Amino acid sequence: MSINTRTYSRYSTDVSVKLLNNLIKFSNEPSVYKEIMIGIGHFLGDILNDKISPLSKCLIASTAEDADFLAKGVIDSLAFNHDTFTAVFWNNHYSIDGGSVAPIVHKYLQSGFEDADSLIVVKSIISGSCVVRTNILSLIERLNVKKIYIVAPVMHIKSEDSLRSEFPSEIFNLFDFIYLAEDSEKDKFGEIKPGIGGQIYQLLGMLDQPVKTGFVPNIVKQLVGM
């Protein structure tokens, strides 16, 4: 897959470029792919540690498919210096004429999450605004946050503007986008190329969206004592 349409962000280093390239290199090896995603989470979490005051309480929100991998890496990194809380969403993401929707079917919110003053929304790839928008809206009225960090390894070049357009200024002025690369190409199915190497569910060895398979991330099982 071509990476000629990829632009690296100011947060990117030789280490992160290698991690992103390995996502594509090991896209047919779920066990290796998962470890790379955790490593990218650690990398992004270290960036956040430099930005967020140690006194800040952080709510890390992710989809169920990302919770044990990308989000785990971010949480592990932030937990050294911050009080952290976890939110996990089971979105039913599907296409409609002219776009897509991602209603929340289930969610887990760790007790005490309302005390967070930094919201970190983690997603393995941001193609548009649908999932991130839905999950922020489900949280924002219950929080009094000073900053909303939108965190991903890869974003489409138009995603930041698309997300900002979905919110009033008092919300989008809180946004800080932390990503490693932007891609400008999509295939006929709307999938970003090279992106993260394909559809995240298959890349992680999942049969389908967690909401359709009953998948519960280990991080949720541990927090609820399952």
DSSP state letter for 167: S
Sign of CA dihedral 61, 124, 68, 201: positive
Instruction: Please check whether residue 179 is in contact with residue 8, taking contact to mean a CB–CB distance below 8 angstroms.
Output: no
d(CA 99, CA 107): 23
What pTM did the predictor assign?
Answer: 0.94
Q: Output the pLDDT for position 98.
A: 65
- Counting Cα atoms < 13 Å in the Cβ hemisphere of 180 gives 29
Residue 77 CB contacts under 8 Å (≥ 6 apart), including other chains: 41, 42, 44, 45, 46, 48, 49
d(CA 30, CA 71): 17
Successive 10-residue mean pLDDT values, the chain, 226 residues: 76 98 97 98 98 96 98 97 97 76 93 97 92 95 96 96 94 97 89 93 94 95 90
Instruction: Fold for 6-224, please state it.
Output: Rossmann fold (3.40.50)
With residue 155 as reference, give the H or E element that holds it.
strand 147-156
Q: Domain segments of the chain: what residues?
A: 6-224
